[in-house]
Structure 1
Amino acid sequence: MVETISIEETTNISPNNPPFTQTHTLPLSHLDIDLNLHVTFRYFRVYAYPSNQIPDPFNLITSALRTALGPYYPLTGTIRPVGGGGYELLCTPNRGIPVVKASMDFSLETLNYLDDPDESLSDQLVPNPDPNEAMEHPMILQITLFKCGGYVLGSAVHNMLCDGMGASEFFTWVAELTRGETRLMVEPVWNRDVLLGPREPTRVEFPFGEFLSLDKEFSPYMQNVGPVVRVCFPMLEKWLDRFKEYLVERSGSKFTTFEALGAFIWQARVKASNIPKDRKVKFAYLMNIRKVTKPALPKGYWGNGCMQMYVQLTAEELLNQPIWKTAMLIKNSKYNATDEYVRSYIDFQKENYDKGITAGQDVSGFTDWRHLGHSKVDFGSGGPVTVFPLSKHFMGSIEPCYFLPYSSHGRNKLNDDDLGFKVLVCMRESARMKFMDQMDKFCKLDFDLS
């Protein structure tokens, strides 16, 4: 039986003190309008605290939103195309963001605090706008109240408007307002066309064309690989420690968890997916460039401040080379992230945007959510016990992978042998069994993927 959420109302939440009276437009940077980011990112936070601590979460949060949307008023805007290619943000007086109020006649405990939720349930917790609605309302929220007094804040945010860090800054400010804060410690900064604009004249110093696709007929999120499913499983520190030792023994180099586990999962997924050997496959991830640019982006900049980085091989090369070599390629790719690399990429976007720049096919996107500070989004009774992404489309990939912290509720029940985190992998359903066989080998400390 599929649990059903009841939708009670949708309210338009606009700023208490309208910050402007005239319709105007705001420019977006070439990092914002990257076609790989032409997608709504969906995720939820679970707050499992009794209602006597927060009697009415919906009114509390929407009241704070009305204040927060003053300095963050672009969230009420509309993304629209501009002549010659690209997009801009249209800001109109008295607009707001839609906030859905919903309820569910279950306790969060009976649902295991949504630590690994059933897909049919989790998709009801977050708005899922169609492409046109997502441009019209780049941010749509849903607050679902549970019988136990806990609640879930579901967020659907268009990635062109801000990245995960930018969205977290906004939600952190909303949460601070609910706890009694009255002024922003750091004012939000727009200035996107100036801070991350192309140079005059443009100058491209890196061979982006070697790993990016120029095909205006291709849309990364319209690829058809059959049904895509979410697979969530624990990753224990003891397994990772042994795998890293294995890599050191063979390479003489140390690797981070992201580099080591990312390499294994990438190889395992490509192997399980039966991708033709001569096909190019990509490992994609985001690198924060806020302190890389010269000058560094100012505090308060909440636009897209990350660059997509890539490792590219043929499927045959990936499957035949030692796993430590793959981890080394991921490790070394980070050193490309320089100010010149960022500026060249922006210039490349300027020169080629109308040709349709994407990462192409067979992209495996990886992102690490373990240290993003989600616990700081505290509306007065503690941070979220679970944070869970729903998006199967991210970074030009239809098969993203997320490293996630355990829910705080689940973590409290763990013994030392179970310490680690969760891995959430989106993959074509046809590859699921073979992929999990490979991960089972990893758990048994068998790291040979041949």
Structure 2
Amino acid sequence: MDVKIEETTIIHPSTPPFNDDHVLSLSHLDTDINLHVTFRYLRVYVNDPETQTREQPNPFHVVTSSLSSALVQYYHYTGSLIHRVEPDDRLELHCQAGNGVPVTRAVVACTLSEMNYLDDPDESFTEKLVPDPRGEDALTRPFILQVTRFKCGGWVLGAAIHHTLCDGLGATIFFNAMAELARGAGQVKLEPVWARSSLLGPRDPPRVDFPFHEFLSLDKNSLPYMEPSKPAVRECFKVKDEWLDRLKGFLREQSGSNYTTFEALGAFIWRARVMASKIPSKETVKFAYATNIRRTMKPQLPHGYWGNGCVPMYVQLLAQELVNQPLSKTADSIKNSKFNTTDEYVRSFIDFQELHYHEGITAGERVSGFTDWRHLGHATVDFGWGGPVTVFPLSRHLVGSIEPCFFLPYSSASEGKKDGFKVLVYLQEEAMADFKKEMEKLEHIIGLSRF
């Protein structure tokens, strides 16, 4: 399916937010080298069938108008990321009067229903719906949008955001501000808070009281997200509630403990990936995820703080340990890692970044990144069409991993009964067939003592 690009317009703040060019410091969470990537995703909006006979607002005009208004307070999205020379090559945000945000307008000659509302979309098609800045363009234009209108009047909002600016929760704060203005609000309700370096800066003197050296390596010659010779392929898997209940019940019988879906299914998928990838038994493998620290900090971060507010958490094992130990023991390791989410852990991570950033901090290879998008509030972003019926990520980089795994809700507009959720997995092509066989065992987990 062809996507026709009609124009790209630079959208400026409706009122100049400042007169003098200036530079803003970022937090040590923002400048984590694992966040030197652009995260990309799309939101799908449908028209209400009952309003089809009335003239519909143009989504491009709605988005660009609300964006222009929101940029008065969130002008930082118009800035450029530049490496400072001294003392450590960290990124800074350079804000210049007259800058704006590029927004592309595009059209597609088909309906969203024909594409099943992009519930499990064709990758070559979705890549045309979301901007994909590369190299220096990703730094000079760290925030780019695309509005693609479909034949049915529905539309897709594609976003490409450099992770140094914010995380997914921070971006959602901004999109909600845009949506409030689009629905007629006179001003943004939640006052945005910058204060990056003061709220999440290093202590003086820095102090590291957590053994990060056990999980992170120092190698100034290493590059973040070293790509393999063959790119990973993508597959979506359905996970039924019944299967999850059986899996959790089996693990409870095995260990006497209860587990969340993230702990139980995460453990299952992690082992399945390692087995399918045939990783040598003596190699170290890592389970990585980001945890929200906004309420963990003492004092808590302000509600309007929209910078990166997550820290990476790691569980690591030898490949042979992961494959051979009871699955409940792996789930226990994931569960127990959550207890590290404390103010001291975060402060120590920030101080570790302060002391070793110039040496190159890397999580290494064999990292399996996991994230759960089922309850992140994406569906609250309502520009007047209701919340998005589908939210879908296109990013391949996550907490040091080039083979991420996303837990995603089904599209609320797709046909059929919504049972469970879907799992989006990136994996090397030669490993995917064996991984599918492992995932099929979820349906028949009762009676399989090997788990």
TM-score w.r.t. the length of structure 1 is: 0.97
Give the C-alpha shift of residue 183 in structure 1. Answer: 1.7
Match of 2:22 among 7, 21, 24: 24
Q: In structure 2, how many angstroms separate the alpha carbons of the residues matched to 1:220 and 1:448?
A: 39
> Partner letter of residue 9 of structure 2?
T
Residue in structure 2 matched with residue 380 of structure 1 by the alignment: 384
Match of 1:46 among 44, 47, 50: 44
**Residue deviations 1:384-435, cap 9 Å, x none?**
111000111121110010000110012x620xxx521111011111110000
Residue in structure 1 matched with residue 57 of structure 2 by the alignment: 55
Q: Does structure 1 residue 84 correspond to structure 2 residue 87?
A: yes
Q: In structure 2, how many angstroms separate the alpha carbons of the residues matched to 1:340 and 1:185?
A: 32
> Partner letter of residue 254 of structure 2?
R
Q: In structure 2, how many angstroms separate the alpha carbons of the residues matched to 1:286 and 1:448?
A: 32
> Partner letter of residue 399 of structure 2?
M
Q: Is the 8 A contact 2:177 2:189 kept in 1?
A: no
Residue in structure 2 matched with residue 302 of structure 1 by the alignment: 306
Match of 2:315 among 307, 311, 315: 311
Residue in structure 1 matched with residue 347 of structure 2 by the alignment: 343
- Sort the Cα spacing of 1:449 and 1:65 in 2 relative to 1 into closer, same or farther, 3 A: farther
Q: Does structure 1 residue 394 correspond to structure 2 residue 401?
A: no
Q: Does structure 1 residue 202 correspond to structure 2 residue 200?
A: no
Residue in structure 2 matched with residue 33 of structure 1 by the alignment: 31
Q: Does structure 1 residue 326 correspond to structure 2 residue 324?
A: no
> Partner letter of residue 300 of structure 2?
A
Q: In structure 2, how many angstroms separate the alpha carbons of the residues matched to 1:147 and 1:296?
A: 46
2:233 match: secondary structure: strand
Match of 2:69 among 32, 54, 67: 67
Residue in structure 2 matched with residue 94 of structure 1 by the alignment: 98
Q: In structure 2, how many angstroms separate the alpha carbons of the residues matched to 1:40 and 1:373?
A: 20
Q: Is the 8 A contact 2:232 2:427 kept in 1?
A: yes
Q: In structure 1, how many angstroms separate the alpha carbons of the residues matched to 2:134 and 2:356?
A: 27
> Partner letter of residue 57 of structure 2?
P
Residue in structure 2 matched with residue 128 of structure 1 by the alignment: 132
Q: In structure 2, how many angstroms separate the alpha carbons of the residues matched to 1:448 and 1:91?
A: 59
Give the C-alpha shift of residue 227 in structure 1. Answer: 2.5
Q: How many residues align?
A: 444
> Partner letter of residue 281 of structure 2?
K
Q: In structure 2, how many angstroms separate the alpha carbons of the residues matched to 1:394 and 1:234?
A: 21
Residue in structure 1 matched with residue 427 of structure 2 by the alignment: 427
Match of 2:246 among 242, 245, 249: 242
Q: Does structure 1 residue 281 correspond to structure 2 residue 279?
A: no
1:63 match: secondary structure: helix
2:29 match: secondary structure: coil
Q: In structure 1, how many angstroms separate the alpha carbons of the residues matched to 2:295 and 2:125?
A: 39
Q: In structure 1, how many angstroms separate the alpha carbons of the residues matched to 2:125 and 2:422?
A: 19
Q: Which moved more, 1:439-448 or 1:94-103?
A: 439-448
Give the C-alpha shift of residue 445 in structure 1. Answer: 2.4
Give the C-alpha shift of residue 137 in structure 1. Answer: 0.6
Moved beyond 2 Å, runs of 4+: 50-55, 444-450
Q: In structure 2, how many angstroms separate the alpha carbons of the residues matched to 1:227 and 1:30?
A: 30
Q: In structure 2, how many angstroms separate the alpha carbons of the residues matched to 1:449 and 1:53?
A: 60
Give the C-alpha shift of residue 53 in structure 1. Answer: 6.8
> Partner letter of residue 59 of structure 1?
H
1:169 match: secondary structure: helix
> Partner letter of residue 13 of structure 1?
I
Q: In structure 1, how many angstroms separate the alpha carbons of the residues matched to 2:365 and 2:99?
A: 38
> Partner letter of residue 263 of structure 1?
A
Q: In structure 1, how many angstroms separate the alpha carbons of the residues matched to 2:277 and 2:229?
A: 10
Q: In structure 2, how many angstroms separate the alpha carbons of the residues matched to 1:80 and 1:21?
A: 20
Q: In structure 1, how many angstroms separate the alpha carbons of the residues matched to 2:186 and 2:374?
A: 29
- Sort the Cα spacing of 1:179 and 1:314 in 2 relative to 1 into closer, same or farther, 3 A: same
1:110 match: secondary structure: helix
Residue in structure 2 matched with residue 228 of structure 1 by the alignment: 232
Give the C-alpha shift of residue 55 in structure 1. Answer: 2.2
> Partner letter of residue 21 of structure 1?
N
Q: In structure 2, how many angstroms separate the alpha carbons of the residues matched to 1:194 and 1:122?
A: 39
Residue in structure 1 matched with residue 444 of structure 2 by the alignment: 444
Q: Is the 8 A contact 2:181 2:188 kept in 1?
A: no
- Sort the Cα spacing of 1:56 and 1:30 in 2 relative to 1 into closer, same or farther, 3 A: same
Residue in structure 2 matched with residue 413 of structure 1 by the alignment: 416
Q: In structure 1, how many angstroms separate the alpha carbons of the residues matched to 2:269 and 2:244?
A: 12
- Sort the Cα spacing of 1:424 and 1:180 in 2 relative to 1 into closer, same or farther, 3 A: same
1:43 match: secondary structure: strand
Give the C-alpha shift of residue 326 in structure 1. Answer: 0.3
Q: In structure 1, how many angstroms separate the alpha carbons of the residues matched to 2:101 and 2:429?
A: 35
Q: Is the 8 A contact 1:126 1:141 kept in 2?
A: yes
Identical amino acids, percent of aligned pairs: 58
5+ unaligned residues in a row in structure 2: which ranges? none
Give the C-alpha shift of residue 320 in structure 1. Answer: 1.0
1:25 match: secondary structure: strand
Q: Is the 8 A contact 1:14 1:97 kept in 2?
A: yes
> Partner letter of residue 302 of structure 2?
P
2:424 match: secondary structure: strand
2:237 match: secondary structure: strand
